[in-house]
Amino acid sequence: MIAFKNRDIISIKDFSRQDVEYILRIAKEMEHNKAKYKELLKGDVVTLVFFESSTRTRLSTYMAAQNLGATIQPFLYSDGTSAIKGETLSDTLMMLKKYGATVVAIRHPLEGSAQWAADVLDVPVVNCGDGAHEHPTQTLLDLYTINKEKGKLDGLSITFVGDLKYGRTVHSLVLAFTKFENVEFVFVSPNVLKLPSYIKEMLDEKKIVYTETEKLEEGVDSDVLYMTRIQEERFGDKAEYEHVRKAYSLKPEHLLNPNIKVMHPLPRNKRAIEIDPSVDALPQACYMGQAENGVYVRMALLGLVSGKLGDGEEYKPKVNVEGEFEFKEIKWKDRERKKGGYLVWEMESGTAVDHLKPNTATKIKDLLGLPENVTCTIGVNLPSGKQSYKDLLKIWGYQLNQEQMQKVALFSPNATINLISEDVLRKTKVVLPKVLTGMVVCDKPHCISNPKHYEFVPSKFMVDGERFICHYCGRKKVNGVL
């Protein structure tokens, strides 16, 4: 048993192999004993919060909630709620909670919106797509379908065809498969729509075998053939688009391999049919069943996060522990104070911030939010050892607090802090916390924490070595080049 009660379903990245297998097992139970669960969520209120057009995800979540006997609270962008554009997402969500929501399924155009919903609400949140960011229920239904059709998730070869550059569905499914063993990929796409290099690097790192090609024919020996839509707008050259469109229109003659399973997240574009309708009747076609599986997977998720399935134990997320400062304490003795300690710093008490990156001291001083009238002295571009320079900031009679020391670390990760009092010198390297809250702003245009959206989301970054990862949109910043 795995604790799922109140767990938020935000990103496929949050799930271990065991988690995935557990969800798929429950989904299978839903498929085969649907009637048994028709009152499972009686009394629960599943709220559909759809700020964007969506047919499949919305309807299958709706049907999943119906099948489990839940009350449905619809909040659809088409339902005459245009007025709410002027309201923050958190106000809208709080209202829906107050009106009775016990599970919230949300789709929203801003990246990180589902994570923010999870932060704001004390009921579980299911991400039904947050902009171009994550869509975990799609990935889970893809995995469910593959497992159902092939009987396993290890040892498979999978071909992806189409727009591999922008296709969120593809990226997440590739990522998900890295949790399984002996997987092989074939990536079929036009040159301009190749898989992003960061994913290929990740595959290289994990020593996962893959092939890149422009030819559909090179992908038809796999276990799974995952077709996707290609949008005409991606092409400057219409002739090139026409070429690709014809090359990637799957027809019965491509499907001589009886064991390949053809998938597609749907909808197909009827004017640029990437799978010819004549394929629909073949035994290899399983995209319609794939859609159906979305209902079972979503039933499983609603049942689990509501706590009505599983052992009812509450999911406890791992908490990021704050970074600790390790101080080296040096007791002053008269001799020392004169020689190297007190004399060196010239202050009886205060803070000396040393080894600052050259030309950062004034900027850092301004950011610290020091009380007025505190005396500071600043050294800029001082020689430091051989052929190296540093800035030095002395703050007289004032000891920096933890947050201020973290701010120093943000701009000058190699700085050292000397807290000086009459008796003792406390010396430490600056340390960044594991989580930066409100200190750095995410400037990605589609991130919900970007202040331009007026969503009043306090910025939050996870610190991963030199990189900061936005808690919401998942985009990275590199320390020191803020």
What are the residue ranges of helices labelled H in 121-185? 136-150, 168-177
Helix (H) or strand (E) holding 243: helix 238-247
Q: Is 57 a catalytic residue?
A: yes
Beta carbon nearer to its own copies, 76 or 202: 76
Task: Measure the CA–CA gap between 301 and 400, rounded to whole angstroms.
Answer: 47
The widest CA-to-CA distance across the chain, in whole angstroms, is 93
444 catalytic? Reply is no
Cβ 105 vs Cβ 126: under 8 Å: yes
Active site residue 426: no
Of 305-334, binders to its own copies (CB under 8 A) are none
Catalytic residue status for 475:
no
Q: Is 52 helix (H, G, I), strand (E, B) or coil?
A: coil
Stretch that binds its own copies, among 91-99, 328-336, 383-391, 404-412 (CB under 8 A): 91-99
DSSP string, 169-216: HHHHHHHHHTTSSS-EEEEE--GGGPPPHHHHHHHHHTT-EEEEES-G
Contacting residue, 16, 211, 269, 320, with its own copies by CB under 8 A: 269
Q: Which residue has the tokens 């669960």?
A: 37
Using rule CB under 8 A, residue 99 touches its own copies: yes
80 makes contact with its own copies (CB under 8 A): yes
Contacting range for its own copies; rule: CB under 8 A; set: 76-84, 181-189, 350-358, 382-390 = 76-84
How many C-beta neighbours within 10 Å does residue 117 have? Answer: 27
| Rounded Cα gap, residues 289 and 60, in angstroms | 13
Piece of 95-103, 130-138, 315-323, 472-480 that binds its own copies (CB under 8 A): 95-103
Q: How far is the CB of 302 from its own copies (least distance, A)?
A: 15
> What is the dihedral angle through the alpha carbons of 403, 408, 413, 418, rounded to the nearest 10 degrees?
-90
Q: How far is the CB of 43 from its own copies (least distance, A)?
A: 8
Q: Is 107 a catalytic residue?
A: yes
Amino acid at 306: S
Per CB under 8 A, 53 contacts its own copies: yes
Q: CA 289, CA 236: separation in Å to the nearest integer?
A: 35
| Bridge pairing between strands 424-429 and 328-331 | antiparallel
Q: Does 456 bind its own copies (CB under 8 A)?
A: yes
Task: Identify whether the C-beta of residue 295 lies closer than 8 Å to the C-beta of residue 27.
Answer: no
Distance of alpha carbon 141 from alpha carbon 309, whole angstroms: 19
Query: x/- site string to its own copies, residues 219 to 258, per CB under 8 A?
Result: ----------------------------------------
Interface with its own copies, residue 291, by CB under 8 A: yes
Binding mask 18-37 for its own copies (x = CB under 8 A): -----------------x--
Binding site for its own copies (CB under 8 A): 35, 43, 45, 50, 52-56, 58-60, 62-63, 66-67, 71, 73, 75-84, 86-88, 90-92, 94-96, 98-100, 266-271, 273, 277, 288-289, 291-292, 295, 454-456
Catalytic residues: 56-57, 85, 107, 135
